[in-house]
Amino acid sequence: MLGSLISLSLNDQEEEEDLFTPDLHQQQQQQRRPIQMRQLLISCAELVSQSDFPAAIRLLSILSSNSSSYGDSIERLVHQFVKALSLRINRLHGPGSSLLLLMNNFNFPIAATTTLANYDIDPSLQSCYLSLNQTTPFIRFAHLTANQAILEAIQVGQQCIHILDFDIMHGVQWPPLMQALAERSANALHTPPMLRITGTGHDLNVLHRTGDRLFKFAQSLGLRFQFHPILILDDDPTWIATNLPSMLTILPNEALAVNCMLYLHRLLKDDSRDLRLFLHNIKALNPTVVTVAEREANHNHPLFFQRFIEALDYYTAVFDSLEATLPPNSRERLAMEQIWFGREIVDIVATEGENRRERHERLETWEVILRSSGFSNVPLSPFAHSQAKLLLRLHYPSEGYQLQVHNNCFFLGWQHRPLFSVSSWH
């Protein structure tokens, strides 16, 4: 009986294969689809780089019909890149009728300005930032790791701590650090330190509200606290480097921590001279520690096509991580993809020259710039590594998020693709 079960006739085998062939073919098609969409996007970008706009627009039309802001991760990704490529063509070539029709499908204004809104002025960006902080590990990982680096760099018993936070936004990074400082002082039977935070931003009202929230939280912990807002209307590194010393008050015997969360890339222009001047002036303040978090990608390549390929690979991983973390109908996911990451993609793909803001670089580039500005790398501790792993395990059950350590720095990524780096400097 066993033999008869195993030894199917040739006809039986063929009939069985026929039963499964449609499903197998469909699965193979589904597996190939992301690769095909990626190749079509690359071909379209290549046509744009060669100024073959009619052919690019025809290809964009095909891509647009296979994309959706409500589909799976590849459809959502294609939707954002088609939007960005359409804007680039519009700016280089001028709107043709077929392109205008395509743009209308996105409800995206054809005359969209090249200057992008500041994070802390645009309410939709503020909301997206909070969603990003609550639903994905990237921001919380950066904050947690930087806070631990600051905590370890500042000695127990230090009576005055000053944090200079560039682009503080809502200040969500600091309540956990305040709590840790209060608990550490209580355990060591020390008086809690005076904590001063100087936060920079583009909107004075937002800065004052952030300061008020932090002050109330500090009061609840019995922590002495001061907040000093610094209004910076434009992220011009020369202006900041020249004017910051006169706006910043450093008290004797206070430990200074400088925090640059997803900030340094905004000071890069076509070269790094202005950024180096900024870092030189930061080094002159003699900080105890400087914490840096950046996206792990080279989106600052001078050639559009190279920049496009890098952005496509990077945001493919980002959109895949969002799909594994949030349901398809999540309003937060839709907003983050369209407003936060979509805005970044538009900036990287469609914008050139001084207007381009998202000039991300890999950590190896930041290492060279920081070392040449007089900074030395401070290794992040095993305890900080354990904390980051615990954060992922407790709050983000998806196994796709991965934590790596390289050259004393931490990297958080998706499926072996590093997406964010955090490092500490002195």
For residue 296, is pLDDT > 60?
Answer: yes
Q: What is the pLDDT of residue 45?
A: 98
Mean pLDDT of 149-172: 95
Q: What is the pLDDT of residue 109?
A: 39
Q: What is the pLDDT of residue 13?
A: 39
Q: What is the pLDDT of residue 2?
A: 32
Q: What is the pLDDT of residue 198?
A: 98
Rounded distance between C-alpha atoms, residue 337 and residue 77, angstroms: 8
Mean pLDDT of 337-365: 94
Mean pLDDT of 298-327: 96
**What pLDDT digit, counting tens, does each position of 413-422 carry?**
999 999 999 9
What residue ranges do the domains of the chain occupy?
32-112+303-350, 137-296+360-425
> Given pLDDT bands bounded at 50, 70 and 90, which one contains residue 27?
low
Residue 188 makes CB contacts below 8 A (sequence gap 6+) with: 156, 157
For residue 234, is pLDDT > 90?
Answer: no
Q: Which of 2-16, 304-318, 341-355 has the lowest mean pLDDT?
A: 2-16
Q: Work out the burial of residue 166: count CB atoms within 10 Å of its CB; fewer than 13 is exposed, 13-18 middle, 19 or more buried.
A: buried
Structure tokens at 317: 């991983």
Mean pLDDT of 149-163: 95
For residue 15, is pLDDT > 50?
Answer: no
CB under 8 A, 24+ apart: contacts of 398-405: 398/321, 398/324, 398/325, 400/320, 400/321, 400/324, 401/137, 401/321, 403/141, 405/380
Share of the chain above pLDDT 70, in %: 86
18 or 266: which carries more pLDDT confidence?
Answer: 266
> Given pLDDT bands bounded at 50, 70 and 90, which one contains residue 99?
low
Residue 234 makes CB contacts below 8 A (sequence gap 6+) with: none
Q: What is the pLDDT of residue 29?
A: 64
Mean pLDDT of 290-307: 97
| pTM of structure | 0.88
Over the chain, what is the mean pLDDT? 88
Q: What is the pLDDT of residue 105?
A: 57
Q: What is the pLDDT of residue 167?
A: 94
Structure tokens at 198: 């100087």
In degrees to the nearest 10, what's the CA dihedral of 121, 127, 128, 134? 130
Mean pLDDT of 401-419: 95
Q: What is the pLDDT of residue 49?
A: 97
What DSSP designation does 262 have? S
Look up tokens 């001279």; give the residue. Answer: 273
What phi, psi does 163 have (nearest 5°)?
Answer: -110, 125
Q: What is the pLDDT of residue 6?
A: 31
CA separation, residue 165 to residues 2, 221, 228 (Å): 73, 21, 10
For residue 384, is pLDDT > 50?
Answer: yes
For residue 63, is pLDDT > 90?
Answer: yes
| CATH class of the 137-296+360-425 domain in this structure | alpha beta
Q: What is the pLDDT of residue 269?
A: 86
For residue 153, is pLDDT > 70?
Answer: yes
Mean pLDDT of 70-98: 88
